[in-house]
């Protein structure tokens, strides 16, 4: 249980690895605190000697102080049309720095740090769906959007319980099955009912996925002979644009982008792992906690935040009286 993140500071050519148990889902707001406060926060985290395994890591940040380069990814980022707006404003918080979102997570980290990471990670076998399972799959409240571009027309369908991995692991023969599935209109971005978008372009022999999923192509590429593969956390609209699909009527409006942006930079409430552990123990006293569970390191509040918290407590006290 947790939101585990690794941070790396590179200074004077020396690399230090840090760990935090609860802040991976706060990376976008933590980075928005700016260069000085974020680096000070990282320095207060636990120093470790190895990176988290792929199955555990939910966020990663590299701060190269020597070169003034910032790289990051977070499972909670939720790439949308607001991404560019966030990155532009984040650049203003990290003046004179190169700010980079890593769309392929640990694949990108491996390249940047020039390390052998991916080959050392355990790959779990992917599910293989049967033809009947794909044919009879029903769309529920949420699902996956599948777009097939053929020489004749573009076919858009949706799946409910059949996963992206199940489709790709079926192999190229799945295309004919999908072409006979019910067609759906492309959803609008703000509807947020699509987990993954998979685009299969049979004209150019290309596959585009709007989600970076570890081990996917390594295990499936043998079943898609001659196909190129582009995977990354591009977001739904980003994937459509890569396939040259018009998104004018699908993307968020400027107002929706600002709302999403405010959600990305909103400071998270202070989390108390000790209190949380107490609640869990009340329900089940046999629970055992990992060594990092009680990690409570957070960015330190600035003067204005301290004043706001003090005022908030005063108002809360008056209401209780």
CA–CA separation, 151 and 170 (whole Å) = 22
Q: Which of 121, 154, 184 is the last residue of a domain?
A: 121
pLDDT for 259? 94
Asked if residue 291 is part of any domain, the answer here is: no
Q: Which of 207, 232, 251 is the last residue of a domain?
A: 251
Asked if residue 246 is part of any domain, the answer here is: yes
Q: Residue ranges of the chain with pLDDT lower than 70?
A: 1, 192, 302-321
Asked if residue 276 is part of any domain, the answer here is: no
- Tell me which residue range forms the domain holding 174: 131-251
Asked if residue 2 is part of any domain, the answer here is: yes
pLDDT for 320? 53
Measured from the Cβ of residue 91, the count of other Cβ atoms closer than 10 Å reads 14
Asked if residue 285 is part of any domain, the answer here is: no
Residues 26 and 86 in one domain: yes
pLDDT for 319? 52
Residues 135 and 108 in one domain: no
Residues 26 and 88 in one domain: yes
Q: How many domains does the chain have?
A: 2
Q: What is the pTM of this model?
A: 0.88
Residues 34 and 111 in one domain: yes
Which residue in this structure is represented by tokens 């407590």? Answer: 313
Residues contacting 110, CB < 8 A, separation 6+: 116, 117, 118
Asked if residue 195 is part of any domain, the answer here is: yes
Residues 46 and 147 in one domain: no
Residues 27 and 81 in one domain: yes
**CATH of residue 45:** 3.30.420
Residues 153 and 39 in one domain: no
Measured from the Cβ of residue 30, the count of other Cβ atoms closer than 10 Å reads 27
Residues contacting 135, CB < 8 A, separation 6+: 177, 180, 181
pLDDT for 85? 96
pLDDT for 195? 80
Residues 90 and 162 in one domain: no
Q: Which of 101, 121, 141 is the last residue of a domain?
A: 121
Asked if residue 154 is part of any domain, the answer here is: yes
pLDDT for 128? 86
Asked if residue 91 is part of any domain, the answer here is: yes
Residues 177 and 226 in one domain: yes
What is the SS3 string spanning the chain? CCCCEEEEEEECCEEEEEEECCCHHHHHHHHCCCHHHHHHHHHCCEEECCCCCCCCCCEEEEEECCCCEEEEEECCCCCCCCHHHHHHHHHHHCCCCEEEECCCHHHHHHHHHCCCCHHHCCCCCCCCCCHHHHHHCCCCCCEEEEEEECCCCEEEEEECCCCHHHHHHHCCCHHHHHHCCCCCCCCCHHHCCEEEEEEEECCCCEEEECCCCCCHHHHHHHHCCCCEEEECCCHHHHHHHHCCCCCCCCCCCHHHHHHHHHHHHCCCCCCCHHHHHHHHHHHCCCCCCCCCCCCCCCCCCCHHHHHHHHHHHHHHHHHHC
Residues 60 and 107 in one domain: yes
Residues 107 and 172 in one domain: no
Residues 147 and 242 in one domain: yes
Q: What is the dihedral of CA 29, 35, 38, 42, to 10 degrees?
A: 140
Quick check: 196 and 146 in contact, CB under 8 A?
no
């Amino acid at each position: 249980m947790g939101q585990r993140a690794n941070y790396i500071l590179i200074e004077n050519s020396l690399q230090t690895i840090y760990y935090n148990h609860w802040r991976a889902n706060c990376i976008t707001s933590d980075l928005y605190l700016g260069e000085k406060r974020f680096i000070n926060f990282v320095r207060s985290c636990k120093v470790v000697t190895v990176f988290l395994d792929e199955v555990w890591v939910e966020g990663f940040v590299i701060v190269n102080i020597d070169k003034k380069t910032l790289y990051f990814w977070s499972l909670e980022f939720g790439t949308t049309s607001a991404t560019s707006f966030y990155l532009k404003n984040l650049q203003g918080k990290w003046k004179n720095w190169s700010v980079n979102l890593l769309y392929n997570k640990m694949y990108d980290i491996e390249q940047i740090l020039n390390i052998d990471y991916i080959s050392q990670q355990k790959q779990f076998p992917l599910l293989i769906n049967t033809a009947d399972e794909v044919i009879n799959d029903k769309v529920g409240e949420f699902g996956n959007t599948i777009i097939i571009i053929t020489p004749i027309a573009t076919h858009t369908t949706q799946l409910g319980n059949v996963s992206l991995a199940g489709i790709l692991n079926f192999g190229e023969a799945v295309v004919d099955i999908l072409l006979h599935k019910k067609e759906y209109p492309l959803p609008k971005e703000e509807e947020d009912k699509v987990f993954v978008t998979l685009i299969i372009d049979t004209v150019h022999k290309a596959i585009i996925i709007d989600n970076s999923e570890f081990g996917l192509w390594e295990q499936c590429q043998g079943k898609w002979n001659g196909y190129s593969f582009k995977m990354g956390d591009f977001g739904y609209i980003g994937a459509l644009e890569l396939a040259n699909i018009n998104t004018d009527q699908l993307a968020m409006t400027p107002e929706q982008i600002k709302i999403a942006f405010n959600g990305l930079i909103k400071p998270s409430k202070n989390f108390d792992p000790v209190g949380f552990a107490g609640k869990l123990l009340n329900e089940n006293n046999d629970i055992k906690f990992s060594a990092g569970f009680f990690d409570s390191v957070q960015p330190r509040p600035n003067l204005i935040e301290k004043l706001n918290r003090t005022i908030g407590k005063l108002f809360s006290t008056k209401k209780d009286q």
